[in-house]
Structure 1
Amino acid sequence: MKLGSLKEGGRDGSLIVVSRDLQRGVRATGIASTLQQALEDWSRVAPRLVALFDALEAGDAVGVFDIDPVALASPLPRAYEFLDGSAYLPHVARVRRARGAEVPESFYTDPLMYQATSAGFLAPRDAVKVASEDFGIDLEAELVVVTDDVPMGVDAAQAADHIQLIGLVNDVSLRNLIPAELAKGFGFLQSKPRSALSPVLVTPDELGSAWQDSKVHLPLVTHVNGKWFGAPDAGVDMQFNFGQLVAHAARTRPLGAATIVGSGTIANEDTSKGASCFAELRTVEALRDGKPSTPFMSFGDVVRIEMFDAEGKSIFGAIEQRIEQAAAP
């Protein structure tokens, strides 16, 4: 099943069921008005949404319309929590090595995670508006999972059972603001503006055999200005799977329905697979050449992030965003 939201009905959008080929949709009228509402009553609502999805696929649904990508909000236009991990240690190791630091042993047993911005997600075709190019504008191509209500203290196997939906995120970062913020010892704030989710979120069964061990075993493909940027395999070099990440987040508190948990920037040891962010590419350049040569993003640049199944069909639809200068308030 694939779910999305239209830019209508208020800040939380209007829930729709989307066809497997991403071409058609139908409103979930009478089932749930928003995805947040659906996830809060998932055990009762999900079977009805699945029945509507099956009807849509069979050509029996009423009120079917063609999908206009520009009309789509992020499936969760806002969420109570977005907890973003950093599960791909090749990325962490390279970044630390470039500044002469080693990876602490604890990083191999205790996931990195921070509480990210979730009060509003950009739509998958919305521009990324930033005040200045001097901030060091960067994309971060990641996977996310969305949970139902997760009890405090679950183990990784139990946590995996609470993963109901999977999607993509462009977790925008302002790299030149990060060092000063981290130096305060209190985490990200100004360096993390709003991110964008993929056009649809999908249930794990939509991934077939690519969903194994709470990991997605497919490449995540990024293009910048129409040029291939990277396609690292999300199932390779992931130190902590999504079950472990959700369990980590729920260690000392329950997680509310529609909590989003991110994988962190996807990266492989094999650098020929390209990168999922400019910081990664610049680190590879610095380690190879002594200094980075690729600048961060500029106004007018366009990023496209997408994942394809074994037949080359888009699973989540594409996040496609232009970098633009924000107007003064």
Structure 2
Amino acid sequence: MSLILNGQHRMDDLREVALTGKPIINGRERRVFDLASVRLHAPIRNPRSLRDFYAFEAHVKTANANRGRDVPPAWYDIPVFYFSNPNAIFGESDTIPYPRKSKALDYELEVACIIGKQGQDIPADAAEDYIFGYVIMNDWSARDLQKQEMSVGLGPAKGKDFATSLGAYLVTPDELADRHTGRVGVYDLSMVARVNGEERSRGNWADIYWSFGQMLERASDGVTLYPGEVIGSGTVGTGCLLETTRAQGPWLQSGDVVELEIERLGILRNAIL
């Protein structure tokens, strides 16, 4: 979090350490570690808030078709989101507890941005100035709990609040610049999900309907966004078992290992307890 709050000059320090190997930069000790020698935690373990959007049209169409309905017309008017639990964040290689009252655990393959600068009423075309970086996000979902509670017209709540994984790395936008699509916060990068080594889902970030620029404009409408807040994209098309099994399962089981990979963002791997 201190890296995000201290902004560009702290990033410049880290780049100098990586390029020169100097242990002391601006009076502070900095080190570069071999990746194999460390265990990665979530890039941000206690975000100030966690919003998750519903931005990929293919996922929205399939999810609604599974419920026997068309996409609500309002979905094409505004990017919509819900608030999830910022106190249940897991990182790369953390074990995910199976929700005690569920028998239908699912993964969701998403990308998220981390806010790097405070702002309110952010125009979509200026939103990249407020994005510190991007991470892979797994919006774990208990489909049976979610179905029950959302039948009331509210939620998701207990169907989602038990775990969200973020990782494996926090990648800054400059590392992705050559794959920028021209839309704000949208990159041509493949997205893949595997369960126990078997590919289950494949999509591309560039397929997103609502850009991160549009999402930040919506999220900041009349509200201040602060550094360290997380904004999720929602699930890429085919990016969950709800889609690929037509909501019938089989669902994830204890002992399964889920890997979410986004090109250049690494692999986010979690076993289920």
The TM-score with structure 2 as length reference comes to 0.90
Q: Which runs of 5+ in 1 are unaligned?
A: 1-34, 268-274, 287-291, 309-314, 325-329
Q: Which amino acid aligns with 1:251?
A: D
Q: Secondary structure of the equivalent of 1:206?
A: helix
Match of 1:262 in 2: 232
* 1:15-34 paired onto structure 2 within 5 Å: none
Match of 2:139 in 1: 171
* 1:147-296 paired onto structure 2 within 5 Å: 147-192=115-160, 193-212=162-181, 213=183, 214-236=185-207, 238-267=208-237, 275-283=238-246, 292=248, 294-296=249-251
Give how far 1:68 is off: 4.1
Q: Secondary structure of the equivalent of 2:11?
A: helix
* 1:53-202 paired onto structure 2 within 5 Å: 53-61=15-23, 63-68=31-36, 71-132=39-100, 134-192=102-160, 193-202=162-171
- Superimposed CA distance per residue, residues 88-140 of structure 1 (whole angstroms, 9 cap, x where no aligned partner): 01111112122221112211121120011112411210111014484310001
Match of 1:24 in 2: none
Give how far 1:302 is off: 0.6
Give how far 1:198 is off: 1.0
| Alignment partners' CA distance in 2, 1:277 and 1:66 | 33
| Alignment partners' CA distance in 2, 1:149 and 1:318 | 26
After the TM superposition, which segments of 4 or more aligned residues of structure 1 sit over 6 Å from their partners?
none
Q: Does 1:317 align with 2:266?
A: yes
The 8 Å contact of residues 114 and 231 in structure 2, kept in 1 or not, is answered as yes
Q: Which runs of 5+ in 2 are unaligned?
A: 24-29
Match of 1:304 in 2: 259
- Superimposed CA distance per residue, residues 138-162 of structure 1 (whole angstroms, 9 cap, x where no aligned partner): 0011000111234222221122321
| Further displaced range: 141-150 or 243-252 | 141-150
Give how far 1:306 is off: 1.4
| Alignment partners' CA distance in 2, 1:322 and 1:211 | 32
Q: Which amino acid aligns with 1:321?
A: N
Name the % identity: 27
| Further displaced range: 46-55 or 191-200 | 46-55
Give how far 1:189 is off: 1.7
The TM-score with structure 1 as length reference comes to 0.75
Report the number of matched residues: 264
The 8 Å contact of residues 17 and 31 in structure 2, kept in 1 or not, is answered as no
